[in-house]
Amino acid sequence: MSSGDEGLLTLTIKMRVSPEPGSGQELTNLMRRYREALNYAIEVVIENKALSLGRAHKLLYSVLKERYGLPSKIAQDCYRKAITVAKSWLRNPKRGKIPKVKTLKLWLTQGQSYRVKDCCIELSGGFKLEITGWDRRYDSYPNREARLVYRNGEFFLMITKQIPKPSKYTPKGVLAMDVNKKEIVFGNGVVRERRETAIERALHYKKLAEKLQQKYSSARYNAWRRRKGILRRIGHFHRKACNIIEDWAKKVSREIAELAKRHQYAVAREDLSYRKLSFWIDWQCEKLGVPIIPVEPKHTSSICSSCSSRLKGNGYRRLKCPRCGLEEDRDRVAVLNIERRALGLLNLSGGSLTAPTAPQMTDVTPNRCGEPNRPSGRGGGQLLPRFHISRNWFEERMWFYVSKPLYHIIVGWGTCSQLI
């Protein structure tokens, strides 16, 4: 998802592709040469500050073609990518060593170095790849830049597309949600739903990774970083944990957004430290035109949702109001309070139930790192949500999952595509 175009959602369509029989080896060879060429080009661009296409072309084009044997269009994409990498490196005040590309990836320009024809991808240099797995729902939107990726013996093409954002309806009510380590609870005065989170499951793999890491980082194994196999296994466990969280967040977010849409509710959520989840909630809502209302998280599970008195503990995760007698579990109280706050915010914005409280898409730029835009100004400061960076349980342990920048929404096929 990008923040550049306000009315558009950017998505990446992931396709499984397979080269014509007998040409796979040749293609991976090209990708290896491309990787070397790109690393060379990055150095040259940085050393010479050749950040314009013209200068980079002069310095690199013929070398990339002749020394590295890249087809001309791919050579152009190569120095174009090198400029992008160099720019972002130069922009970083804390830059370390010159960046080096390690994965096997080709960055491609639509109509230049690649085109989609029927069920095939044509690469410049005469390669043809058959599309074997494809989510066709977005076929009618034009293809933009793409990446060809080679991983674990398979080729994937990731094509970027932009789709228009649907406009948001005027909500008839609010669907509130609250998350704890075990469960995500959502509902309102009428709806009561809860689902298990995937955190336990993800933690299992995270722990496996940490165990390995610990074992091999002891003094006796101080060379563990060089042991490729161990590193690979650690990476595998980390990725597995990350994927579990990601899949769960996508799926539950879609369910919530769809439920909200069916009843024409807005979705109210706290400023979650569960960033992956809030990312997906916002994204699914944007995609379906569901208004989103971020709500101040303070005290949502300590005051009574019907009379605002301070609640007292009443057994495991249960709360009771000493004044009006309301008795509920913690999460349900939080949901009701969030619903109430959201309704308050809606009414405060001058009777219009949509505009100022619905966050813009810029709220969910991937690199925001916990600094969501807040609707500003209106409605009296006391009700406007503030963002707390609390070093709570989740943040400490889950930082790994959320610190990985998520640049695009990936639409896959099969089970994955159904999650979006």
Q: Which residues form the interface with Zn ion (CB under 5 A)?
A: 304, 307, 309, 321, 323-324, 326
> d(Cα 233, Cα 45) in Å, to the nearest integer?
35
CA atoms within 13 A on the CB side of 314: 16
CB-CB contact of 348 with 384 (8 Å): no
Nearer to Zn ion, 267 or 304 (CB): 304
Listed in sequence order, the residues at least 6 apart from 384 whose beta carbon sits closer than 8 Å to its beta carbon are 296, 374, 375, 376
Nearer to Zn ion, 321 or 419 (CB): 321
> d(Cα 150, Cα 35) in Å, to the nearest integer?
12
Q: At its nearest, how many Å lie between Zn ion and the CB of residue 385?
A: 23
Nearer to Zn ion, 306 or 354 (CB): 306
User: What is the C-alpha radius of gyration for the chain, rounded to an integer number of angstroms?
Assistant: 25
Q: Which two tokens stand for residue 278?
A: 């809030």
> d(Cα 350, Cα 333) in Å, to the nearest integer?
27
Nearer to Zn ion, 202 or 336 (CB): 336
Nearer to Zn ion, 162 or 306 (CB): 306
Nearer to Zn ion, 168 or 332 (CB): 332
Q: At its nearest, how many Å lie between Zn ion and the CB of residue 336?
A: 11
> d(Cα 283, Cα 369) in Å, to the nearest integer?
16
Burial label, 350 (beta-carbon count in 10 A; 0-12, 13-18, 19+): exposed
Q: At its nearest, how many Å lie between Zn ion and the CB of residue 308?
A: 7
> d(Cα 15, Cα 160) in Å, to the nearest integer?
11
Q: At its nearest, how many Å lie between Zn ion and the CB of residue 311?
A: 8
| φ and ψ of 292, to 5 deg | -120, 135
Nearer to Zn ion, 9 or 321 (CB): 321
Q: At its nearest, how many Å lie between Zn ion and the CB of residue 359?
A: 31
Nearer to Zn ion, 312 or 388 (CB): 312
Burial label, 382 (beta-carbon count in 10 A; 0-12, 13-18, 19+): exposed
What is the distance in angstroms between the CA of the first residue and the CA of the last residue of the chain?
A: 13
Inter-helix orientation angle 199-217/228-263, to 10°: 160
Q: At its nearest, how many Å lie between Zn ion and the CB of residue 326?
A: 5
Q: What is the DSSP string of 124-193?
A: TTTEEEEEEE--GGGTTSPP--EEEEEETTEEEEEEEEEEEPPPPPPPSEEEEEEE-SSEEEEE-SS-EE
Block residue for tokens 């009561």: 192
Q: At its nearest, how many Å lie between Zn ion and the CB of residue 242?
A: 42
Q: Which helix (H) or strand (E) holds 275?
A: helix 275-288
Rounded to a whole number, what is the largest CA-CA distance in the chain? 82
Nearer to Zn ion, 86 or 304 (CB): 304
Q: At its nearest, how many Å lie between Zn ion and the CB of residue 309?
A: 5
Q: At its nearest, how many Å lie between Zn ion and the CB of residue 302?
A: 12
Q: At its nearest, how many Å lie between Zn ion and the CB of residue 328?
A: 10
Nearer to Zn ion, 13 or 336 (CB): 336
